[in-house]
Structure 1
Amino acid sequence: MKKSLLALILGSSVALAACGGGNDAAKDTEEAVDEVEQNTEEAVDEATPKEDAGDTTTAAAGEEVYKQSCISCHGGNLEGGFGPALDKVGAKYSKDEILDILANGKGQMPAKVVEGENAEAVASWLAEKK
């Protein structure tokens, strides 16, 4: 997601820079590009879980990833739907077991729907659901 956002912003920046005609327009475009790049970096920093921020950031990040990647099958309130209910998944599986399911899939769930830091965040958040 970070890479997609950054690519979109940089692509827009290049397009804006190519449109410049005179020096004043070029300066305005450069300033706009700089502002877009700065805002992008800030957005990526805000979206990246901070290690020293503790469980609150991890939980918030896990919930956000769930909303983006899991809600369509497991429901808005973890109640299930196409996929099983996850409202008490932490009572059944540990964080490591949840990570294994995310990595390798289980039943109808495909493998690697969520990976990397996102998988860690979701697994931590779901492991708390007891």
Structure 2
Amino acid sequence: MKKKLLSLLLGTSLVMGLAACGGGGKDTSKDTNTKKDTGTTETANAGDAQKIFDQKCSSCHGGDMKGGMGPNLTKVGSKYSKAEILDILKNGKSGGMPAGLVSGDDADTIATWLAAKK
């Protein structure tokens, strides 16, 4: 039990440290006219969402979204609506998801993108 609690605390500290290093600033150098053809149905801002996810979320949820310290998000849209995902991003969730790692337009972008993952 102590190891699990210590791991959770260290992991949360790591996530908070990484979130602080992420900056949260917008990348103004991106080309908004370029769309990567992946052969899947994605939202228009999927590239932005992927970048935000890579910077803010992948350390816990994995680069492939299959989980790690955090849960698997590959089909999270089947479980939660966009509004519910936004609430989790804003307020966190018991079990290790801290509040406020992503906010504002970035939170909306991520929530829209994740809600489409079914």
TM-score by length of 1: 0.59
The structure with more helix, counted as a fraction of residues:
1
Structure 2: tracts of 5 or more residues without a match: 1-23, 33-42
Q: Deviations over 1:25-70 (max 9, x none)?
A: xxxxxxxxxxxxxxxxxx616378xxxxxx32x2211111000000
- Residue from 23, 26, 30 that aligns with 1:46: 30
1:85 aligns with 2:42: no
The percentage of counterpart residues that share the same residue type is 51
1:2 aligns with 2:25: yes
Q: Which aligned runs of 4 or more in structure 1 are off by greater than 2 angstroms?
A: 45-48
Structure 1: tracts of 5 or more residues without a match: 4-42, 49-54
1:68 aligns with 2:55: yes
Equivalent residue number for residue 20 of structure 2: none
- Find the aligned partners of 1:45 and 1:117 in 2 and give their Cα distance: 17
Q: Deviations over 1:101-128 (max 9, x none)?
A: 0000002110000000100110011011
Q: Deviations over 1:64-102 (max 9, x none)?
A: 100000000000111000001101100000011000000
Structure showing greater Rg: 1
Following superposition of structure 1 onto structure 2, how do residues 1-130 of structure 1 map, counting pairs within 5 Å?
A: 1-2=24-25, 44=28, 46=30, 55-56=43-44, 58-107=45-94, 108-130=96-118
- Find the aligned partners of 1:123 and 1:97 in 2 and give their Cα distance: 9
Higher relative contact order (CA 8 A, sep 6+): 2
